[in-house]
Amino acid sequence: KAGVTQTPRYLIKTRGQQVTLSCSPISGHRSVSWYQQTPGQGLQFLFEYFSETQRNKGNFPGRFSGRQFSNSRSEMNVSTLELGDSALYLCASSFPLSDTQYFGPGTRLTVL
């Protein structure tokens, strides 16, 4: 069974731009969570989607948003990029009613 896939793997943007990251969950998984990993803050929860609905959200500004499609694929968007948004963005999926999450390889975003 294929794992969680994320595209693109690497991205370089400049301040003020916006970016969209994509995540395809494991087949049969309907919950998709997003995390940001930085050296200073570690792994921080961004938000979670289930059945195209955002069910949970972490403490991030409104510039961070996401959505989920009917096939459970998910995208996250960051608008008006700041230098501090440089991070590894991780997507994870899980079966309904399971708290075990399986992670993708991540997207490394660099903001210049």
Among 26, 64, 106, 109, binds another protein (CB under 8 A): 106
Among 11, 79, 86, 102, binds another protein (CB under 8 A): 102
55: contact with another protein by CB under 8 A = yes
**Which candidate, 73, 41, 75, places its Cα nearest to that of 59?**
41
Beta strands in 1-112 (DSSP E): 5-7, 10-13, 19-24, 31-38, 42-50, 53-57, 64-68, 74-78, 87-94, 102-103, 107-111
67: contact with another protein by CB under 8 A = no
User: Which residue, chain included where needed, has tokens 């998910």?
Assistant: 74
Among 11, 20, 58, 65, binds another protein (CB under 8 A): 58
Spatial strand order of the sheet with 64-68 comes to: 5-7, 19-24, 74-78, 64-68
- Taking the least distance from each CB to another protein, the nearer of 56 and 80 is 56
Residues 75-94 that bind another protein (CB under 8 A): 88, 90, 92, 94
Stretch of 11-19, 52-60, 64-72, 76-84 lying at the interface with another protein (CB under 8 A): 52-60
How many residues does the structure list for the chain? 112
Which residues contact another protein (rule: CB under 8 A)?
A: 4, 6, 31-33, 35, 42-45, 47-50, 55-56, 58, 88, 90, 92, 94, 97, 99-106, 108
